[in-house]
A and B are shown apart, each in its own frame.
Chain A
Amino acid sequence: MSGMLDDQALLAGARRYEEQALAEIYDRYNLGLYRYCVRLLGDPDTAEDCVAETYSRLLRALRSGGGPNDYLRAYLYRVAHNWIVDYRRKGESEDRTLEFVTTDGTDKSPSEIVQGEIDRKDVRDALFQLTPDQRQVIVLKYFEGLSNEEVAAAVDKTIGAVKSLQNRGLASLKRLMTVQENTP
């Protein structure tokens, strides 16, 4: 929520193609977006592609007179999420996870590293069995720390609907987790 007015000022500057405003928009949110993307994609390179494409889409939206009016961060996460969903739909995901592994902690044994990656993949797989809105609500609230208002803007729902999505999503996740544990 904080910085919302600033975001409006930044967006006004961005619509005038002021480089300072555009750079600030990038600097302020690119790292959070990267973390979001890499969590859901599992691969740093693909996550960087997603970040780049997200900002590119923002530019195109601004150029055609569209783009967000206030919740800039929520808008960026929504665009990134759409990209990720498209990407996974094409079946290209999860094929470069070794890079993730090798950039992980250094003091773990190879088996620990591999097990960690398997665990992360399990969570991702479970998250992608939720509805897109449930998935966004849980990830944005749990990992990215967005406010209820921002999450609501990201999924274009009311705050009440966001809470409902969260409850149903967590219940589904719990069920999926149990199924995974019982699957050999």
Chain B
Amino acid sequence: MKNSSPDLDPELTAFLENLRDVPERNMERAARGREMFLTEARDSQLAVSPSLFHRLIGWIAISRSKEVTVMNWKLAPITLAVVIAVGITTLFGSAVATAYASQVSLPGEALYSVKTGLESAQLALSRDAAREVRLHLRFAQNRLEELAELIRLGQSDQLADVIAEFEFHMEAAIEGLDDVDPDEHEPLAAAVMQALSRYAQILTSLSSSAPELVREAIEEAIQASETRMGMHEVEFMGFVIEMGKDTWAIERALDGELVPVSITDETEIEEGIVEGDLVRVEALENYEGALIAVEIKFADENENENGNENENANENENENENGNENENANENENENENGNENENENASENENENENENENGNENENENGNENENGNENENENENGNENENENENENENENENENENENENENENENENENENENENENENENS
């Protein structure tokens, strides 16, 4: 054998060698195959979608804060989420449906594969997104009917599969809405809502007559689904350590703990966040302590929205820097100034200072002016602050004029600081409350 069995029977070798040569490849076809593969890879990347569960909690989170447009249809998403939640919960807890115990073929019966096969064929043949949504709704209802009949017959071993299929079709119907033509979107979305609502009613009305045989399983399922929905909202600030596709690692500012946060398609992420940024995270925490991010934004930006908060970052910096400078300047100046030059110098000093202050002015003004200013201010202030301080000290020592200047500066700075401080306090109170 050529590669590994040199002692291979010569006849066998000759026999196999017939397959050695292959026809030359069609390079155009090969290139097309490569392109198809890469295209499919790009599509796959886009097609990675969150589970229905993630979508649900995303909607719930959104609905808490704003009026909602879910998937381009105007509905209160909390309503939608509740209906779906009720649908799932009551489904798990659903019971006998004598009304639905009609002649349906059931899992395990000979005709059942024919039935589901026909359903699959209908979906495969459909070229219309709206029609697919309606088909999924109808098939979801089919599963509901089967479920009711299975419960009536006490055949609990097939329940899980049917429930999974019901959920699959509901999810497909909801997700399918994304692809529906805008004109049909709203009425179809309403139809989905009505269907969900109707299913929930059916299940609820039937739940009281659940047979003893499956009651325990139903209760377990209810409990599981309720727990699954038992999310609560948390909010914290921290530094972005790692930004994975599905999970971010945030170092919580409060305790320095590294917290993993799941990212879903519904997560709102402020543009421009990079690793190392201080961010504010709003998340939903489930019963296992896992966090699913609802919104991640710059810590500064929260402040922007409130109107006062830009100022926090700016103010802190301004105050610290100004404060140091002011204090130094004041001390020098006061001592030197004792007398003479106050009036005379005021004019001249003012002018001199004006130059110094211009630098300060630019920074301060920018900051006060609401803050184009976040990034710029930080850098400017630090640099200016240092420079100002140095200059002031030199001047104070050497000249009388310096003293005046310092005084002027102090006044200006003090004004700025006062403003800043006021803002800080306001903001802090807002945050605390």
Q: Tell me, yes or no, whether A130 is within 8 Å of chain B by CB.
A: no
Residues A173 and B12 in contact, CB atoms below 8 Å apart: yes
Residues A170 and B12 in contact, CB atoms below 8 Å apart: yes
Q: Tell me, yes or no, whether B66 is within 8 Å of chain A by CB.
A: no
Contacts of B20 in A (CB 8 A): 143
Q: Tell me, yes or no, whether B26 is within 8 Å of chain A by CB.
A: yes
Q: Tell me, yes or no, whether A16 is within 8 Å of chain B by CB.
A: yes
User: Interface centre among B23, B38, B48, by most A CB within 10 Å?
Assistant: B23
8 A Cβ contacts from A90-141 to B = 99-100, 103-104, 116, 119-120, 122-124, 126, 138, 141
Residues B22 and A19 in contact, CB atoms below 8 Å apart: no
Contact with B along A28-45 (1 / 0, CB 8 A): 001100110011000011
Residues B19 and A120 in contact, CB atoms below 8 Å apart: yes
Residues A39 and B37 in contact, CB atoms below 8 Å apart: no
Min C-beta distance of B32 to chain A, whole Å? 9
Residues B23 and A103 in contact, CB atoms below 8 Å apart: yes
Residues B44 and A23 in contact, CB atoms below 8 Å apart: no
Number of cross-chain contacts by CB at 8 Å = 106
The A contact surface, by secondary structure, is helix
8 A Cβ contacts from B1-53 to A = 1-5, 8-9, 11-12, 15-16, 18-26, 29-30, 33-34, 36-38, 40-42, 44-45, 47-48
Residues A145 and B245 in contact, CB atoms below 8 Å apart: no
Contact A17:B34 (CB < 8 A) given known A38-B23, A142-B2, A142-B3: no
Query: B42's contact among A19, A63, A104, by CB below 8 Å, is which?
Result: A19
Residues B19 and A124 in contact, CB atoms below 8 Å apart: yes
A48-56, A67-75, A77-85 - interface stretch: A48-56
Contact with B along A1-39 (1 / 0, CB 8 A): 000000000000010110100110011001100110011
Binding site for A on B (CB under 8 A): 1-5, 8-9, 11-12, 15-16, 18-26, 29-30, 33-34, 36-38, 40-42, 44-45, 47-48, 245
